[in-house]
Amino acid sequence: MKLENRTIHVPLAGQGMWLSVLSRAVAHELGHGAYPLRLSIAEVRDRVALAEVTVLSLSDAEARQHAIDGAALLAPRRKEWQAGAFAVVNVVPTGVRCEFGGYAGDACPATNLLASAADVLITHPNAVNASELNEMAPGVLYVEGKTLDDFLLGHLGLLPVAGNRIGTFVDPRGLGFLDEVTSALDAARTAAGIDCGVFMMLRETLGVGIGWSETGCAVGTVANPEVVVEAVQTLLDDGAQAIGGLSVIEGVTQEMFARHMRGEIPNPSGGVEAILTHMVSTLFRVPTAHAPLPYYAHLKRGVGRDPRASAEFISTPHYVSVLKGLARAPRPVPLQSLTNTPAEVLTVNNVGAVVLPASCLGGIPALAAQFSDIPLIAVAENRTILDVTNAKMKMANVIPVASYLEAAGVVLALRNGISLESLRRPIAAARRLELPATATEARIDAEIVLAESI
């Protein structure tokens, strides 16, 4: 078992549907036994796009053990109709320095606003985790990013639940903070009623380190992924239904941390945390989330802080937000098809809109939305370090908006069947369509024949 980061050059001649173009390139580049965990188009040039991918390499035996027979990306399923509960997916990409969501749960208010306009709002931990705070609204479903990708690709459903039993793995590099970790677990149990009383130390350190991609996104490396796999299996065998993790992340310098606080670079740890949870999600199909331990406590003194990062300064384990999210995270349900699914299971058929930063339209959520012709609401105000805008992607389903305030209005209109053009001025006059010339000629010939027969 091995994790690595790669860059794939995707030819753009006659590209067609983006998902098809990307899946062909991935199938050609990765080969047998390699599965994409994180994947997005990070740059678009004249004739080529750069796709950044984190690859999980498995032996045939490992793939059989975890029932993995291929990547969902290579066989997407298209949304078939708009099902009952109107769901909105709000994505705040990790590791790209989002103005909303690039710090500690600072996209939560925007997420809750969107949730108030929908029947259900589906998002991922990066949007709402804020150290010990997680203030997501009751109508928000907390779904790990890889699970969210495969949900939008039509391979997973989401089963809402009243509660989950949470098991926690702890990196032994954080042994000196174990008292704080167990205090977080016990506080969540006694004050919030969360079932999270079991944890285990990994048999050796994960070896988690930060890294940077070619385009400046935060990624990272995991030297010993197999120790997480062993721990997760043990926790599940003990009865856990969701998995949380705490790891010590190496490689962040005081200068990096200060630059992040000044808004100059992404959160250095965000990308590698996503790699860890994507791996657990892929192999075990359970709700999962992660927190850094102890999140650079030795680097925080004398560093100016952005109010959006303040939650990062109030705790050592930063873990209660994870426990609150996982406590009622929906369970992933593998789907054989999108037809005749159980009524209580949400699928891509329920998704009425996807919301993303306007400069991040190269990830699986955006490409899956194009594939299924789901309205893609692109928020300009949530700026990032990327420039993958619709001016470059040219997707017909994109609805540009300035802010999350405007995005919520679009969601309300879509949910209630109100035409967006009716809400804008000036409004164009009705258009008259004419039959194509060949169809017109055929109709005239038919009328002549009919007249002669009479």
Q: List Cα–Cα distances, 36 to 13, 40, 43, 219, 348, in angstroms.
A: 23, 10, 18, 14, 21
Higher-confidence position of 71 and 26:
26
Per-residue confidence (pLDDT) for residue 7, from 0 to 100: 92
**Looking at the predicted structure, is the pLDDT value of residue 175 above 70?**
yes
Q: Is residue 11 part of a domain?
A: yes
Angle subtended at Cα 149 by Cα 31 and Cα 291, rounded to the nearest 5 degrees: 100
Q: What is the edge-to-edge ordering of all strands in the sheet holding 87-90?
A: 140-142, 120-123, 87-90, 351-357, 376-379, 398-401
Place of tokens 């710090």: 103
Band of the pLDDT at 15, cuts 50, 70, 90? low
**Looking at the predicted structure, is the pLDDT value of residue 51 above 90?**
yes
- 251: phi > 0 → left, psi -120 to 50 → alpha, else beta; which? left
Q: Cα 185 to chain center, whole Å?
A: 26
DSSP structure class, residue 346: B
Q: 329 is written with which tokens?
A: 């995270």
CA quadruple 225, 285, 57, 54: dihedral, nearest 10? -80
Average pLDDT over residues 86-111: 94
Q: How far apart are CA 274 and CA 270, in angstroms?
A: 6
DSSP structure class, residue 352: E
Range of the structural domain that residue 35 is part of: 2-74
Query: In 315-400, which ranges are continuous DSSP H helix?
Result: 320-327, 364-371, 390-393
Of 229, 327, 328, the closest CA to residue 281 belongs to 229
Average pLDDT over residues 164-192: 95
Of 165, 115, 162, 121, the closest CA to residue 142 belongs to 121
Band of the pLDDT at 298, cuts 50, 70, 90? low
Per-residue confidence (pLDDT) for residue 308, from 0 to 100: 83
Q: Is residue 27 part of a domain?
A: yes
For residues 168 and 327, the answer to whether their CB atoms sit within 8 Å is no
Q: 447 is written with which tokens?
A: 């009328």
Angle subtended at Cα 274 by Cα 31 and Cα 309, rounded to the nearest 5 degrees: 155
Least confident span in 39-43, 169-173, 304-308, 408-412: 304-308
**Looking at the predicted structure, is the pLDDT value of residue 345 above 80?**
yes
For residues 210 and 169, the answer to whether their CB atoms sit within 8 Å is no
Per-residue confidence (pLDDT) for residue 439, from 0 to 100: 61
Band of the pLDDT at 327, cuts 50, 70, 90? very high
Q: 28 is written with which tokens?
A: 């050609």
Per-residue confidence (pLDDT) for residue 317, from 0 to 100: 84
Q: How many domains does the chain have?
A: 1
Q: 104 is written with which tokens?
A: 């500690």
Q: How far apart are CA 385 and CA 96, in angstroms?
A: 6
Q: Is residue 107 part of a domain?
A: no
Q: Is residue 15 part of a domain?
A: yes
Q: Is residue 66 part of a domain?
A: yes
**Looking at the predicted structure, is the pLDDT value of residue 54 above 80?**
yes
**Looking at the predicted structure, is the pLDDT value of residue 315 above 80?**
no
For residues 141 and 158, the answer to whether their CB atoms sit within 8 Å is yes
Q: Is residue 47 part of a domain?
A: yes
- In the chain, what percentage of residues exceed pLDDT 70? 93
Q: Is residue 8 part of a domain?
A: yes
DSSP structure class, residue 261: H
Average pLDDT over residues 225-245: 97
Report pTM: 0.92
Top-confidence range, 100-109, 140-149, 256-265: 140-149
Average pLDDT of the residues of the chain: 91
Q: How far apart are CA 317 and CA 295, in angstroms?
A: 8
Q: Cα 131 to chain center, whole Å?
A: 19
Distance in angstroms between the alpha carbons of the first and the last residue of the chain: 79
Q: Is residue 57 part of a domain?
A: yes
Q: 91 is written with which tokens?
A: 């994505």
Band of the pLDDT at 441, cuts 50, 70, 90? low
- In the chain, what percentage of residues exceed pLDDT 90? 68
Beta-carbon contacts of residue 249 (< 8 Å; ≥ 6 apart): 208, 209, 210, 220, 268, 269, 272, 273, 292
Q: What is the largest CA-CA distance in the chain?
A: 98
**Looking at the predicted structure, is the pLDDT value of residue 332 above 90?**
yes
pLDDT 10s digits, 350-404: 999 999 999 999 999 999 999 999 999 999 999 999 999 999 999 999 999 999 9
Average pLDDT over residues 159-188: 95
Q: How far apart are CA 120 and CA 346, in angstroms?
A: 10
Per-residue confidence (pLDDT) for residue 296, from 0 to 100: 60
